[in-house]
Amino acid sequence: MSKHPGNGHNRPPGGRPAGGPPGFGPPGMMPGAKPKNFKATLGRLLTYLKPFRLRLVIVFITAILSTLFSIISPRVLGHATDVLLAGWQDKFNNVAGAAIDFKGIAFILAILALLYVVSSLFALLQQYLMAKVAQKVVFQMREDVNNKLGRLPLKFFDARSNGDVLSRIVNDVDNVANTLQQSLTQMITSVVTLVGIIIMMLMISPLLTLILVLTLPLSFIVIGAIAKQSQRHFKSQQDQLGKLNGHVEEMFTGHTIVKAFGREKQSIEHFEQMNDKLYDSSWKAQFISGIMMPLMGFIGNIGYVLICVVGGIQMINQVITVGDIQAFLQYARQFTQPIMQTANIANIIQSTIASAERVFELMDEEEEVEVDNPSATSQLKNPQGNVSFNHVKFGYSEDKLLMQDMNLHVNSGQTIAIVGPTGAGKTTLVNLLMRFYNLQGGQITIDGVPIDQLQRSYVRSLFGMVLQDTWLFNGTIRDNIAYGRANATEQEIVAAAKAAHADHFIRTLPEGYDTVLNEEASNISSGQKQLLTIARAILADPPMLILDEATSSVDTRTEVQIQQAMNNLMHGRTSFVIAHRLSTIKDADLILVMNQGSVIEQGTHDELLAAGGFYADLYQSQFANGGSGEVELE
Amino acid sequence: MLQLMRYLKPYGLTIIFIIALILLQSLADLYLPTLMSDIVNNGIVQQNTGYIWKMGGFMLAVSVFGTIFSVLASLYASKVSSAFGKVVRQRVFSKVESFSIQEFDKLGTASLITRTTNDINQVQQVILMILRMMVMAPLMCIGGIIMALYKDAQLSLVLLVVIPILIITILLISRVAMPYFKIMQKKLDRINLVLREGLTGIRVIRAFNRTAYEAERFTDANKDLMNTAVKVNQIMAFMMPLMMLLMNLCVIAIVWFGSFRIDMGEMMIGDLMAFIQYAMQIMFSLLMMSMMFVMIPRAQASAVRINEVLNTEPTVVDIATAQSNDSDKANLHSYQPSSAVEQQSRAALRGEVILSFDNVSYTYPGAEKPAVDKLSFQCRSGEVTAIIGGTGSGKSTIIQLIERFFDCNEGEISFKDIELKDWELHALRNNIALVPQKTTIFSGTVADNIRYGKEDATDVEIKQAATVAQALPFIERMEQGFDTVLAQGGTNISGGQKQRLSIARALVRKPDLYLFDDSFSALDYKTDSALRAALKTYIGDAAMIVVAQRVSTVMNAEQIIVLDEGVIVGKGTHEQLLQSCDVYREIVQSQLSEEESA
């Protein structure tokens, strides 16, 4: 699971600094992920841009205008130089009445200033407008993905790591945002600049342009060769770094064991080996990517020198003017940047589309189908909590059924204890009862109505759930309890907390019910967390319950409180209890013994003992060991 | 940051060499416009084709040298920065490995991981930037100014006006934008948090039908983020166009005032062209430097975190390192425990005290009350000592004190009649095997994981340990058996399987003292009882300390110690404690129904 979503990219939020200094991995140097279906994904991405068509057109127009104006300016500046030189030369040659035409120069410079201002204004406008477009698009994408998550079945989440989902919503969407903000317009300006410059240069001197263009293949060769090399080394650097980070993570999280078994030395030695390898690939990667700039600069300089020389000679031959050369030199200087950028664009587009594709993949996941038969009973009149399983057939995958033919009848108010070793499939039962998963066959009914004819949300509202794995969110204690029922009053919340034996400890907290639970909810103990989840369930007041009995991480006194709170909660409700204590199991109206995903025995304590099966075996073996306590099954 | 720079010391000469190379490269770069102005002034104006060719060749030569310098600088800069990263990483890792649990608790495991990985990368990156760019930018800037002054001092007054404006603009924009960057990070964290909560709590959310509510929460966070992001990007939209405008207006000013200078005959046309290029160079280097100011604070934060690790001294000092000069004393105990004599005398030791706590107190740093207070008890070879009590009663603290993960504040703990502090850490821990509460599985094969307990364990020993730990059945069920590769954290096996491997790892060590810290919790009942039966014969005369929350686990121990809020409130066998100890009775009653406890 990625611990730092959002940190995967080290760019400032403004996006990639255009032409910025090469860092650890300059864009385009890293091998990017390739999208599987480029066209379709691009098309879909474009639909997101559709509502902003008008704005985008304006953005493109301003981008083009801004570029055009900035392309013209060197030429204009060249004219100023020509006027200057003409006057100076006349003066130098003692032409009578010769003077520098300051008026003319002032006029040209004024035009130039105007061009610059207009160009900058357009550039500003373009970025300013794009900011809103880009952010609104990614806002919409995030919303869509998140809403989609709400409609996906649990199957999806169980099969995927949270880190992966998070990374798609955060990092991939962010990648798209950056491209929209920076690269999209950059693509346009780069192309316009390139074409514009070539036209301007051709207008000045086709010969000089030819010379400059002749240096182009050289640049491409250099870029290609370096990019290939550096990709290799960057990849190896990334691999080494990944291995090293893995080792660090493993050793640090297992620090107690490393210490207890005295393995610090081996750990350090192992680290050193990896570190050496990392150093090797790291400096090579940095070096090779680092020489890109000087080499490109050198090629640029070759062009520069050639233009100076050839231009100088042409000037002597009166083919072109000094101003032309000056302008041409400026164009030549601007020439390499758009080339590098265009070379990069392919990479950027590819990685953006790949990111968008990962996001869309998520959006294309199959959704939970609501009621198969929506016209059927949508609500029960007065839910009692009679639950039946009729010939239930279920497995997480079609070919591996866990339950072949499960039958179960529970009457309102009964307590059902579920026992069995770890991984016996106790949560499977929860998944089925709450319609988190669909059956492969058979029926589960509540008060006689098959649950697949009820709204999912309605089925779930019939159950209260208190799991060992408490889930509380970053908010006040009040909000966390009130989660059980929207619009609960203050009195109801306090009453629920009292019934859950939580009121007392809440009041001892400095902020009482307003205490904000921190991210990990580590400011209250795990036992207290459990009490809060019980209060939440009490407030929800459902006719049926799913409970997970106390854990080993709770101290005995809190455990007593939890037990009492649970007893309060279970009173008068049909309760499915994942049981660990013998007393609960013995008192249960029905015991379900589970193993390897299926219910292998069911009956009361006495019945099961008499049957002499798996349960009896479990029960006996605990007495063989000294006769005590609870069945430690978890 | 500066403190970390000391690790660059060994590369002092190389760095000077790099700076010299960059200086030469900058000079070459700065020389080119002057050569060009010579071409214009002497070649073009005086129509001297030969001169133009000559100077052109000269420029090319200068350019070649510049490139060579630059490539060399890049080579050494890459090497130095990578070496720096390597050295710092090495130091930090070794340091962390020397930490006791106390330092881990203080700094946090996740934080230590980021410090060792990301933070160091961040600093390494900036060092590279500094070596490549940071050195170059000021050189180019100063060089540009000198050349500009040399070309025409009076015209340089234009720069005197423009440069401060440029700097002020940069400062102003970053002043306005910086706070937003911070806010933006917070909002990003917020949206991450909401998302993560939504994912981890998905069952609860669905169970309570609060999907819509969660979606609303997300939308709020999302909107918030969008608004800030729009603002940040809109502010940043001003940055580049404004900079470009300033530079271009500067050029206009230079041409305008330059033409007067030319009119007065103070300047040649080629000089003006060169001057413009110098002005550009100066301003670009200023922009470059401003980028550094964004990079450095980020690295600074990382550097502070790294230094914090390097400056933390482990609280537990190993006698082996503390008295490395006084080697006699250290050797005295270090070989004794594992010696053959010790092995033979073990049988004789049966029933004798192997570990004793004498008035031991320990207070966690910053805690008001001691975690354990004036504990005195003894453990004997061949016996099981059980420790029971609620959360926070100090059970695990005792285990950690025995392992010497931290030192007690008061009192004395001795192992085999030698005070813990006088044991060489390695030797002490060689005599103890721990099964911690939280199982740790390393990436590697099953056999590797068990062998972790004893490096030179034979296959037979490993199999034996696995058998006793009840791990053999499931290991044999796996396709590759003992050679099955486990993922990091053992994510491809179940909790109970991990715990059994963790137990096997301790067993293969065959130490004189076993510590089980609530270690049977993930085992199902049958496995648990089978394991306990097998343990008894396997362990033989070694002593065993078992920490537990449940009466069933402890009731057969030779000695049960009942802890309540760090104090021993009862000591004895199950029967004795039922008679004498209220707290124990309370625990028993809360866990067992009456008929069972009788």
Q: Which of B45, B90, B209 sits opposite A275 (nearest CB)?
A: B90
* Bridge partners of residue A418, in order along the sequence: A578, A592
Predicted confidence at residue B61, as pLDDT, reads: 92
**Cβ–Cβ under 8 Å, residues B564 and B583:** yes
Predicted confidence at residue B349, as pLDDT, reads: 60
Token duo for residue B49:
């084709």
String of DSSP letters for A525-589? -HHHHHHHHHHHHHHH--SEEEEE---TTS-HHHHHHHHHHHHHHHTTSEEEEE---HHHHHH-S
3-state DSSP assignment of residue A335: helix
- Contact between A625 and B552 using a beta-carbon 8 Å cutoff: yes
Predicted confidence at residue B219, as pLDDT, reads: 93
In this model, does residue B7 exceed pLDDT 60? yes
B49 contact residues in A (CB cutoff 8 A): 312-313, 316
Give the whole-angstrom CA distance, residue A166 versus residue B191. 10
- Cβ-based contacts under 8 A for chains A and B: 479
Average pLDDT over residues A613-623: 68
Token duo for residue B333:
């105990």
Q: Which of A26-35, A231-240, A560-569, B251-260 has the lowest mean pLDDT?
A: A26-35
Q: Which of A278, A326, A460 sits opposite B209 (nearest CB)?
A: A460
Distance from CA of A204 to the nearest CA of B (A): 17
Give tens-digit pLDDT for A168-224. Answer: 888 888 888 888 877 888 888 888 888 899 898 898 889 889 988 888 888 888 888
A314 vs A271, residue with greater confidence: A271
Other beta carbons less than 10 A from residue B26's beta carbon: 25
Q: Which of A123, A583, A626 sits opposite B593 (nearest CB)?
A: A583
Average pLDDT over residues A517-529: 72
In this model, does residue A407 exceed pLDDT 60? yes
B323 vs A130, residue with greater confidence: A130
Selected for mutation to probe chain B from A118, A181, A253 (highest B CB count within 10 Å) is: A253
Angle at B320 between CA B314 and CA B324, to 5 degrees: 110
Q: Cα separations (Å) of B504 from A225, A359, B499, B520?
A: 54, 44, 9, 12
Give the whole-angstrom CA distance, residue A16 versus residue B240. 13
| Whether A33 contacts chain B with CB within 8 A | no
In this model, does residue A324 exceed pLDDT 50? yes
Token duo for residue A298:
């050198």
Predicted confidence at residue A372, as pLDDT, reads: 55
Give the whole-angstrom CA distance, residue A82 versus residue B269. 10
Distance from CA of A39 to the nearest CA of B (A): 28
Average pLDDT over residues B423-438: 85
Which domains, and CATH codes, for chain A?
A: 38-363 (1.20.1560.10), 472-541 (3.40.50.300)
Q: What is the CATH number of domain B438-510?
A: 3.40.50.300
| Whether A463 contacts chain B with CB within 8 A | yes
What are the start and end residues of each CATH 1.20.1560.10 domain in chain B?
1-152+287-315
Give the whole-angstrom CA distance, residue A335 versus residue A214. 13
Query: How far is C-alpha B43 from the chain's CA centre?
Result: 62
**Which amino acid is located at B228 in the chain?**
T
Average pLDDT over residues B152-171: 87
Residues of chain A by 3-state class (helix, strand, coil), percent to 5: 65, 10, 30
The 3-state secondary structure of B517-563 reads ECCCCCCCHHHHHHHHHHHHHHHCCCEEEEEECCHHHHCCCCEEEEE
Give tens-digit pLDDT for B397-422. Answer: 888 888 888 888 888 898 888 888 88
Q: For residue A539, give the chain B residue with the closest CA.
A: B208
Give the whole-angstrom CA distance, residue A341 versus residue B127. 26
| Whether A93 contacts chain B with CB within 8 A | no
Q: Which of A95-109, A141-155, A516-530, B452-466 has the lowest mean pLDDT?
A: A516-530
Distance from CA of A632 to the nearest CA of B (A): 5
A-facing residues of B in 407-446 (CB < 8 A) are 425-426, 429-430, 432-434, 436, 438, 440, 442-443
Measured between alpha carbons, how far apart are the two ends of chain B, in Å? 67
| Whether B521 contacts chain A with CB within 8 A | yes
Other beta carbons less than 10 A from residue B533's beta carbon: 14
- Contact between A555 and B393 using a beta-carbon 8 Å cutoff: yes
- Residue A28: pLDDT band (50, 70, 90) is very low
Average pLDDT over residues B11-23: 91
Predicted confidence at residue A630, as pLDDT, reads: 39
Contacts of A611 (CB under 8 A, 6+ apart): A601, A603
Q: What is the CATH number of domain B1-152+287-315?
A: 1.20.1560.10
Average pLDDT over residues B504-525: 82
- Residue A261: pLDDT band (50, 70, 90) is confident
Predicted confidence at residue B346, as pLDDT, reads: 44
Give the whole-angstrom CA distance, residue A94 versus residue A77. 26
Predicted confidence at residue A469, as pLDDT, reads: 67
**Cβ–Cβ under 8 Å, residues A73 and A331:** no
**Which amino acid is located at A633 in the chain?**
L
